[in-house]
Amino acid sequence: MSTQPNPDSELLPPGTTLPRHIAIIMDGNGRWAQGRGLPRIEGHRQGVNTVRMVSETSTALGVEALTLYCLSSENWKRPATELEFLMQLLQQYLVEERQLIMDQGLRLKVIGRRDRLPDAVLDEMNQTIRLSADNTGTQLVLAIDYGGRDEITTAVRKIAGRLRDGEIGESDITEAFVAENLYTAGLPEIDLMIRTGGDMRVSNFLLWQLSYAELWVTDRCWPEFSKENFLGAISDFSVRQRRFGGLTVNE
């Protein structure tokens, strides 16, 4: 956790305790659209505006890292037309938001599998990652074709290979060592996880990393998640007592 670095900011009261790393499950795009008689893809299109808002707000506040669940490994079960649109939208985002990423000083990182993504998406992704590598602002992490169980399985295979080859011993395999072999190596611990759309589950998202995160769920779908909602989640986080398995002073 960190204290809000800009005391002149009007976004939150001075001295508000900020989460260093916020993770968001951006749920409800399709339901939002269908509830308005629109195609599901329109919900995804509108959701890009919310991505821009949380990215800009995180930068203004000084949040160190923001991880967004863009596409899960299970989402490949969706209709082909929706998946094709999502890939086109992702490619478009990486191109059209590139200047904003640079202006805001964001550093782009992508976690998840890459072997199932179209080459055109990978090309734009790699270019934006390269261009933003020296930025010093919020680290914007996009979880694309990501699954928490797959991430842990991949890490176990990597560690098992090093153990087999004699590079490490069993005593080297600590929690910290496992964390160093996950996609999120080098990022701060997740302090706050936000889920839109109302569902009370983590949906195979950052299973290791969410161990001690504070959870905040809203019924609002992602396209209607506002800056006030985002700031409200952070304000709520600021007043929670985090025990990490221990007790508070009063207890």
Instruction: Specify the pLDDT at position 24.
Output: 98
Q: Is the pLDDT of residue 246 over 60?
A: no
For the record, the structure tokens of 247 come out as 């007790």
- Rg of the chain over Cα atoms, rounded to whole angstroms, equals 19
In a domain, 187, yes or no: yes
Contact 81, 89 (CB under 8 A): no
Residue 243 falls inside a structural domain: no
* The pLDDT value given to residue 249: 52
Domain ranges, residue 23: 17-237
**Burial (0-12, 13-18, 19+ Cβ within 10 Å), 149:** exposed
The reported pLDDT for the residue numbered 242 is 80
Cα distances from 40 to residues 29, 31, 81, 82, 127, in angstroms, run 7, 7, 11, 8, 29
pLDDT 10s digits, 65-102: 999 999 998 888 888 888 999 999 999 999 999 999 99
d(CA 32, CA 27): 9
Query: SS3 sequence, 91-143?
Result: HHHHHHCHHHHHHCCCEEEEECCCCCCCHHHHHHHHHHHHHCCCCCCCEEEEE
Domain count, the chain: 1
Catalytic residue among 6, 8, 27, 191: 27
User: Mapping DSSP to helix (H, G, I), strand (E, B) and coil, where does residue 88 land?
Assistant: helix
Binding residues: 27-32, 40, 44, 72-74, 76, 78, 195, 201-203, 214
Q: What is the pLDDT of residue 251?
A: 54
Check which CATH number belongs to the domain holding 194 and give it. Answer: 3.40.1180.10
Q: Respond yes or no: is residue 181 known to be catalytic.
A: no
Q: Is there a catalytic annotation at residue 75?
A: yes
Identified catalytic residue from 75, 135, 204, 229: 75
Q: Is residue 9 part of a domain?
A: no
Look at the pTM and tell me if it is higher than 0.95.
no
